[in-house]
């Protein structure tokens, strides 16, 4: 009897240890989480987006002919008027070519007149007349080209513009087609922002009721801007589309392309197709890698990773597009510490 007790005693101890280990494992697997309910987006709101000031377009300025610069009027950052002289090549060689072409044409006309007279008298052949006529035509073309090349020795502003960059200095030798400067069309000031495409489908019904732009360096001033267009080409890294707003150049200040700004867009009468509202604290991830939230499924006490696309941030809340539905619960505290397979319990305030 004593021997049986000695055998059973360790088994009883081991059984007790297994029960304690099982209880510990269950305790460590159960994570108490604070949750929040997914909300419905309001019918109207303001959306704030980082923006970059840009020109309507930027062109490369270059000469059509080769030569040495004798005049350069391209101070960077300054504005120029359409038709203003910006740079000039030494035109002496081209003037000589015009003179040579003029002399050649004069001679060709004189020779043709003489051959025509001889042809009328039967003293010149048809071939001689044709050759003389061809020489005159070629001389006319040569003179026209020489005059065109002479005109190409001067560069004029094709439109009201801002000189973004000067690539050469005076007295430099430039080749035909070599970029000498970059000009920006600032007849309008563009603001380019990156937003989810769904946001701008609202504009198809005219629901963008107002938009304003603020320059980061001058936060006191706000400028009314108008929606121009948006791209339908998806930006692969940010999963956004580029949109453009525009305004006339302000008279009280100069807005330089490349400056950072913020654009506030007010949209009214929106449907819930724009997304759902979740707490900012529920958002996990980065713009490059993508964002997600942890959905709490109460039936099986599991956490499900749900990818989301951020539409807008306002205060402590985020508007997202995802598979979430109204009334779903998401982890709202410590979301970055959650992981796949964790067993969770919703925190209940006593």
Q: How confident is the model at residue 48 (pLDDT cuts 50, 70, 90)?
A: confident
Residue 12 burial (10 A CB sphere; 0-12, 13-18, 19+)? exposed
- Relative to beta strand 329-331, strand 284-286 is unpaired
The per-residue DSSP string of 180-215 comes to EEEEEE-SSEEEEEEE-HHHHHGGGGT-EEEEEEEE
Q: How confident is the model at residue 182 (pLDDT cuts 50, 70, 90)?
A: very high
Residue 42 confidence (pLDDT): 58
Helix ranges, the chain (H): 2-29, 92-120, 126-151, 197-201
- DSSP assignment letter at 275: -
Is the pLDDT score of 322 beyond 70? Answer: yes
- Kindly provide the b/e burial profile for residues 139-168, where b requires at least 16 CB atoms within 10 angstroms of the residue's own CB: beebbeebeebbebbebebeebbbbbbbeb
Q: How far apart are the first and last CA of the chain?
A: 53
Is the pLDDT score of 184 beyond 70? Answer: yes
Lowest mean pLDDT among 197-201, 255-259, 279-283: 197-201
> What mean pLDDT do residues 248-275 have?
79
CA atoms within 13 A on the CB side of 30: 11
Residue 296 confidence (pLDDT): 84
Q: What is the pLDDT of residues 201-212, one digit of tens each?
A: 555 555 677 899
More confident residue, 58 or 205: 58
Residue 47 confidence (pLDDT): 81
Lowest mean pLDDT among 25-39, 40-54, 281-295: 25-39
Lowest mean pLDDT among 175-184, 308-317, 330-339: 308-317
CA atoms within 13 A on the CB side of 142: 18
Residue 205 confidence (pLDDT): 56
Residue 24 confidence (pLDDT): 41
Strand arrangement of the beta sheet that strand 154-156 belongs to: 154-156, 85-89, 67-72, 173-174
Domains of the chain: 28-42+274-346 (2.40.420.20), 46-56+188-269 (2.40.30.170), 91-152 (1.10.287)
53 in helix, strand or coil? strand
Q: What is the pLDDT of residues 102-156, one digit of tens each?
A: 999 999 999 999 999 999 999 989 999 999 999 999 999 999 999 999 999 999 9
> What mean pLDDT do residues 28-55 have?
77
Closest CA to 246 of 260, 259, 263, 258: 263
What global pTM score does this model have?
Answer: 0.58
Residue 25 confidence (pLDDT): 44
Residue 6 confidence (pLDDT): 39
Is the pLDDT score of 28 beyond 60? Answer: no
- Contact (CB, 8 A) for 242 and 193: yes
If you average pLDDT over each of 15-19, 24-28, 346-350, which comes out highest? 346-350
Residue 198 confidence (pLDDT): 62
Q: How confident is the model at residue 165 (pLDDT cuts 50, 70, 90)?
A: very high
Element of type H or E holding 58: strand 58-62
């Amino acid at each position: 009897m004593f021997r049986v007790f000695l055998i059973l005693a360790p088994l009883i101890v081991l059984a007790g240890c297994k029960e304690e280990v099982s209880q510990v494992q269950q305790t460590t697997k159960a994570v108490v989480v604070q949750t929040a309910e997914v909300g419905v987006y309001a019918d109207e709101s303001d959306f704030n987006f980082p923006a970059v000031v840009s020109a309507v377009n930027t062109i490369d300025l270059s000469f059509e002919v080769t030569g040495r610069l004798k005049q350069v009027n391209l101070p960077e950052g300054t504005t120029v008027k359409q038709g203003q002289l910006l740079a000039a090549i030494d035109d002496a060689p081209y003037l000589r070519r015009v003179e040579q072409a003029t002399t050649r044409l004069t001679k060709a006309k004189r020779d043709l007149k003489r051959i025509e007279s001889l042809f009328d008298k039967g003293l010149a052949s048809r071939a001689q007349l044709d050759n003389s006529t061809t020489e005159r035509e070629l001389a006319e073309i040569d003179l026209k080209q020489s005059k065109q090349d002479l005109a190409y020795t001067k560069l004029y502003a094709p439109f009201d513009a801002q000189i973004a960059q000067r690539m050469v200095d005076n007295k430099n030798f430039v080749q035909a087609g070599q970029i000498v400067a970059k000009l920006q069309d600032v007849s309008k000031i563009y603001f380019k922002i990156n937003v989810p495409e769904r946001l701008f489908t609202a504009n198809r019904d005219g629901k963008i009721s107002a938009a304003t732009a603020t320059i980061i360096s001058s936060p006191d001033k706000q400028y009314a801007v108008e929606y121009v267009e948006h791209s339908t080409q998806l930006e692969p890294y940010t999963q956004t589309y580029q949109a453009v707003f525009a305004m006339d150049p302000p008279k009280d200040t100069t807005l330089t392309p490349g400056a950072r700004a913020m654009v506030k867009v007010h949209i009214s009468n929106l449907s819930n197709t724009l997304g759902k509202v979740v707490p900012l604290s529920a958002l996990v991830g980065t713009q490059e890698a993508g964002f997600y939230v942890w959905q709490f499924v109460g039936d099986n006490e599991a956490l499900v990773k749900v990818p989301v696309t951020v539409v807008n941030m306002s205060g402590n809340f985020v508007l997202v597009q995802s598979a979430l539905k109204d009334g779903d619960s998401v982890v709202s505290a410590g979301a970055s510490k959650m992981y796949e397979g964790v067993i969770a319990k919703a925190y209940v305030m006593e």
